[in-house]
Chains A and B, each alone.
Chain A
Amino acid sequence: MRFAMRLNLFFRSFFLQTGWNYMKYQNLGLTFVMLPFLKETYQNDRDALPSVLQRYLEIFNTQPVMASFCFGALARQEEAIAKAESLTKFKEKVTEWSSIKKGLSITTASIGDRLFWGALKPLTLLIALFIWLMLGVNFFEINLPASVPLVYVFFAGGVAFFVFNAIALFVKWQGIKISYNADEKSCFGLTRFDWNKTIYNAKRIGLVLAVGMILFGLYHYLKDFSELDVHFVTRAVIVLFFVMISFVTRKLRIPNMYLYLAAVVVFNLVCYL
């Protein structure tokens, strides 16, 4: 694949989820991403394009970053379809194309969801929180200091943004190239990375950071108290209560937001009683 075409697919891939719907998911986005490649592949046979587009407008759903592996693999297979010498070969290649599209989208979605949404996003959040606390921005306090340098406010978020996107854009860019050059034996280049080990390591780091964040947060939350007065005890009880109850609600699969809304109602009732 030419560099210019790869670049085109890369930029268009940012709009993969435009037109997301519950019937065919990312079908419009996939067609938009692949259109320049299809136009180039079928430049001598423009009449074939509608039937080709029909296949791309079928159901497609995967994780947006990892979708790049699908683009490369589908492009390679599309070339094989375009070069098919007989009708039997053509049908065979189209069937292969369909199974690649279905199988690869499921695999990449599974990897992408666990890596980017399940591990990397919360991990970068924790990194940002640590940076803010180390810069002295104590976001736990309701009465925030008014004069904090603007750089401090955006620095930690910027680091989280940079770390997440550096990895995501690298995978996106490389995914197109690797999957285009690979075959089904290497699962279209997916086996070039040890995804499970990466996810495992990211989660291990995340676990350590999450426990560290609770302890570090507790220190920041309670450090201004010189003695064990009623305010200190109240704060400590609230923290412990919500940490414990969060573990329980997590087990019961009740989202945090409902716990917060319930807390508002319960606290109001307690205050009135």
Chain B
Amino acid sequence: MTPEVFMLCVLAALLELDTTYAFQLTFSRGIIAAPLLSLVTGDVMAGLQVGVFTELIFADVSPLGGILPPSAVVCSAVTLALHALGIELYFAFFFGVLGAILFSVAERYMRKNRFKWLVYWETQILKKPGVVLRAVFFSLATSFVMNFALIFIFTWVCGKGMLWLLPHIPTQAHFACRFAYMAVPWIGLATLVPAFRLKAR
């Protein structure tokens, strides 16, 4: 695991906070986050492509109500980190999408269980209202640590596994994954048309 991959995971964990917990200024969008993350690895064109593909593949899942869409930051970070380790983009993107799906499962679990310590903070806030600032900081800090741990561990496991597997992967698998990767923007663009359908005024 190179220092740049480590830095990328730290930056990704920070950007991931923008998705829900802080700001929501769309730094966590694929087209913003991936080029930013690629500045760490140095391959900005890969960052741009991964950003566009990530945003398009997740374009049909919006955070409406309590729905938790897969994280574009996690997908971009895992893809770019694996690519920086020498794995082709079309393989890396597959793991990026898997990582984003697994991250949303983990995030759902965290949200379910966060209430347990929130009960403690609520009683503290009622005793001393100023504690709310500490509760917010604690919440942000734990989210950052969890984000980093999940992104780093997943990238590390996939990176190790893929680097070991790569010499044994047959040409057919390269060909198949390239084709599937080529299809990503078209899958995304095609779903944008019905997404804009005019139901009623």
Output the residue of B53, B129, B178, B196 with the most chain A CB within 10 A: B196
Q: Which residue of A lies closest to B38 (CB)?
A: A153
A210 contacts B60, C-beta separation under 8 Å? no
A28 contacts B132, C-beta separation under 8 Å? yes
Residues in B whose Cβ lies below 8 Å from that of A28 = 118, 121-122, 132, 135-136, 139
A256 contacts B57, C-beta separation under 8 Å? yes
Expressed in whole angstroms, the Cα–Cα distance for A54 and B126 within the complex equals 7
Residues in A whose Cβ lies below 8 Å from that of B60 = 250, 255-256
The binding surface of chain A is classed by DSSP as helix
Cβ-defined partner of A196 (8 Å) among B139, B173, B201: B201
B64 contacts A246, C-beta separation under 8 Å? no
Interface residues of A in 190-236 (CB under 8 A from B): 196-197, 200, 203-204, 206-207, 210-211, 213-214, 217, 235
A264 contacts B62, C-beta separation under 8 Å? no
B59 touches A (CB below 8 Å): yes
Please give the distance in Å from A273's CB to the nearest CB on chain B. 10
A22 touches B (CB below 8 Å): yes
- Report B28-68 CB contacts with A as 1/0, cut-off 8 Å: 01011001000000001111110111011111111111100
- Report A148-170 CB contacts with B as 1/0, cut-off 8 Å: 10100110110011001100000
B168 touches A (CB below 8 Å): no
B190 touches A (CB below 8 Å): yes
A156 contacts B31, C-beta separation under 8 Å? yes
Cβ-defined partner of A213 (8 Å) among B44, B61, B191, B192: B192
B59 contacts A122, C-beta separation under 8 Å? yes
B156 touches A (CB below 8 Å): no
A117 contacts B63, C-beta separation under 8 Å? yes
A207 contacts B187, C-beta separation under 8 Å? no
CB-CB under 8 A for A268 and B177, given A118-B62, A213-B189, A257-B97: yes
B185 contacts A140, C-beta separation under 8 Å? yes
Please give the distance in Å from B199's CB to the nearest CB on chain A. 9
> Could you write out 5 A-B pairs with CB less than 8 Å apart?
A20-B111, A23-B118, A125-B59, A160-B29, A264-B176
7 smallest CB-CB distances across A and B, nearest first, come from A246-B190, A267-B176, A271-B172, A206-B196, A207-B196, A23-B115, A117-B62
Residues of chain B at the chain A interface (Cβ within 8 Å) = 20-27, 29, 31-32, 35, 44-49, 51-53, 55-66, 70, 89-90, 94, 97-98, 100-101, 111-112, 114-115, 118, 121-122, 125-127, 129, 132-133, 135-136, 139-140, 143, 172-173, 175-198, 201
Residues of chain A at the chain B interface (Cβ within 8 Å) = 14-15, 17-25, 27-29, 31-32, 35, 38-39, 49-50, 53-54, 57, 61, 64-65, 109, 113, 117-119, 121-122, 125-126, 128-129, 132, 137, 139-140, 142, 144-146, 148, 150, 153-154, 156-157, 160-161, 164-165, 196-197, 200, 203-204, 206-207, 210-211, 213-214, 217, 235, 238-239, 242-247, 249-251, 255-257, 259-261, 263-264, 267-268, 270-272
